[in-house]
Amino acid sequence: MSANLIPLLWEATLQTLYMVAASTILGTAFGLPLGVFLAVSQRGELLSAPWANKVLGLVVNATRSVPFIILVVAIIPLTRAIVGTSIGTNAAIVPLTLAAIPFIARLVENAIREVDAGLIEAARAMGATPFQIIRKVLIREARPSIALGLTLAVVSLIGYSAMVGAVGGEGLGDLGIRYGYQRFMPEVMAAVVVVLIVLVQLVQSIGERIAARFDKRAPRNRGR
Amino acid sequence: MTGNPAAGAARTAAAGAAISFSGVGKAFAGPGGARVHALDDVTLAVEPGAICGIIGRSGAGKSTLLRMVNGLERPTSGTVTVAGRDVGRARGAALRAIRREVGMIFQHFNLLSSRTVAGNIALPLEIAGEPAEAIRARVTDLIARVGLDGLAARYPAELSGGQKQRVGIARALATSPRVLLSDEATSALDPETTQTVLRLLADINRDLGLTILLITHEMAVVRDIASHMAVIEGGRIVESGPTYDIFTRPTHPTTRSFLGGVTGLTLPAFIAGRLLPARPDGPSEEVIRVTFAGTHATDPMLSKLAVEKGIASNILAGAIEEVGPHPFGNLLISVDADRGPEARAYLEQHGLLTEVLGHVR
């Protein structure tokens, strides 16, 4: 491995981390409330709003149906409007976030739905408002599942971030394609893959640790 | 609505009641558009400080009835009041204010797995917006009150069923409610733990003057702590009144079948199979149920029957139990059919209740 490859690899790793972190934070900021709303707004639920639920559900499904690489290209005008340019790492955050929002929303929705209905009933019996139930019961009880869901989202975003090279997003995937594939440097490709494997492993084990820390459902977790 | 005179008394006593149901119905659209009645014209009053047990099979409507007291279910007809306030028509903040005065405990405890014992007990106080200082002090008191000292920092997963229900009780008492609703609170517990939890509920009832409305499918629970009871079937109250009266003089078949399990009212199989409704020709025996109540429960009445009347009786089954502080018992006996009427007259004279169940050859 040539000496000038190390800085390249390091820079690409930082770019990937930056894109993934930014889109995870933004995706969660929008996806979490959206997921909670999807979970509690069905007919007969806490904040029954069946029409809004249906419409948002459709939008979420539609966004998730679009292949990521097409999404990247299709929203270039939106990206330009938000970031000022459609090329570069910052520009890549827009499609990554847009893909993360519905994904995280569905994960959060599922996590919230898993919460025992008896807990909602108990909270209602205490005189809790719907908002108090969401904050103090639903989100809190769903934390272990939400943590695992976000782990899955981050791993997926690492994968997606490899595709934003198409709009000059740079990062590890882009490095692999430009050096490893187009310039016939298999050792670069190998290094990129190794770094990605390490990243994903790290994210997965940190996510599981956080989930276990939140999870008090089994006695074995005491004192962690 | 019911053949029991006690229900009529309850109807007129509703004014000062802690909880009152008057003409309460709950109907919903069933399959094929038919109206299904989960509850039908239920009238019942629970006096302040009483422990009222509602017993019924699953699907009888007891759960719906209980949930109307804190507005988790709304009646489609009639009114439900708690301390004079109409729960069925309360909405929003008014309903939440009523709910804070009505504690509830559940069969499966419904504790937050992510909160410690102290955190679970604190939840209703946080919801009510109490200051953190006050919450801490109140939670410490409650933990001691229900006997969970030293377990404040544990999570529900680390507790036994009985301990979890104690947390549930402490949580239900946190906002100092006047009424406690118990939804099959001991049904998931073993018999021994059930006893300790029932004792705790009885203590709380006595010490705090809390009115308790509980639903159960176990007659033993009603017998052990309820001062009053109601039997519900098919969405209707078929019998209600003081527990002792109903245990000693059940009138409705459903009540009797529930009582069979606890009070030795059930015929042993070897007799049941041979029982004839009418007296057969030839020598036969009359099968009689004798109910002992109050002070007679411990008198040796059958010995007296033999000595004074010369009538020998055959004991088939029996049990003596306590309903609250009162002993009472049921005996199934058989006597020579020729002497049956005389034996029954003698026992009735001495304050026992008798009933002919049939004849055996």
How much is the mean pLDDT over chain A? 91
Q: What is the dihedral of CA A55, A59, A64, A70, to 10 degrees?
A: 160
Asked if residue B244 has pLDDT above 80, the reply is yes
CATH architecture of B264-360: 2-Layer Sandwich (3.30)
Q: Which domains, and CATH codes, for chain A?
A: 5-215 (1.10.3720.10)
- Place A65 in a pLDDT band, splitting at 50, 70 and 90: very high
Contacts of B106 in chain A (CB under 8 A): 118, 121-122
Q: For residue A140, list chain B residues with Cβ-Cβ distance below 8 A.
A: 112, 114-115
Tokens at residue A98, please?
């847009």
- pLDDT of residue B260 exceeding 80, the answer is no
The answer to whether A80 contacts chain B (CB < 8 Å) is no
Give the nearest chain B residue to A115 (CA atoms). Answer: B112
Q: Which CATH architecture has domain B5-101+177-261?
A: 3-Layer(aba) Sandwich (3.40)
**Per the CB < 8 Å rule, is A125 touching B112?**
no
Q: Nearest CA of chain A to the CA of B280: how many Å?
A: 57
Neighbours of B206 (CB within 10 A): 11
**Domain map (residue ranges) of chain B:** 5-101+177-261, 264-360
Does the structure show a pLDDT above 50 at A11?
yes
Residues of B in contact with A219 (CB under 8 A): 155, 157-158
A116 touches chain B (CB under 8 A): yes
Among B99, B108, B114, pick the best mutation site for testing chain A contact (most A Cβ within 10 A): B114
Sign of the four-CA dihedral B256, B259, B263, B267: positive
Compute the nearest-CA separation of B158 from chain A (Å).
Answer: 5
A219 touching B, CB under 8 A? yes
Neighbours of B161 (CB within 10 A): 16
Cβ pair B114:A141 closer than 8 A: yes
Interface contact flag, B157 A132, Cβ < 8 Å: no
Which of B33 and B220 is assigned the larger pLDDT?
A: B220
Residue type, position B258, single letter: F
* HEC-encoded secondary structure of A185-222: CHHHHHHHHHHHHHHHHHHHHHHHHHHHHHCCCCHHHC
- Give the helix/strand (H/E) hosting B339: none
**In this complex, is the C-beta atom of A114 within 8 Å of any C-beta atom belonging to chain B?**
no
What's the pTM value of the predicted model, to 2 decimals? 0.84
- Distance (Å) from the C-alpha of residue B121 to the closest C-alpha of chain A? 11
Q: Using the predicted structure, report yes or no on whether residue B9 has a pLDDT greater than 50.
A: no
Q: Is the ipTM of this complex over 0.85?
A: yes
Distance from CA of B223 to the nearest CA of A (A): 27
Please list, in sequence order, all residues whose beta carbon lies within 8 angstroms of the beta carbon of residue B307, skipping any fewer than 6 positions away.
none
- Which of A4-8, A172-176, B117-121: highest mean pLDDT? B117-121
- Under the banding of pLDDT at 50, 70 and 90, the label for residue B297 is low
Question: Nearest to residue B290, comparing CAs of B254, B265, B256?
Answer: B265
- Of the residues B70, B100, B113, B158, the best mutation for testing chain A's interface (the one with the most A CB atoms within 10 Å of its CB) is B113
Question: Average model confidence (pLDDT) for chain B?
Answer: 88
When CB atoms are compared, the residue of A122, A127, A129 closest to B106 is A122
Residues of A in contact with B111 (CB under 8 A): 122
Q: Which of A143, A214, A222 is nearest residue B158 as measured by Cβ atoms?
A: A222
Q: Which of A129, A137, A216 is nearest residue B157 as measured by Cβ atoms? A: A216
Question: What was the pLDDT predicted at A50?
Answer: 92
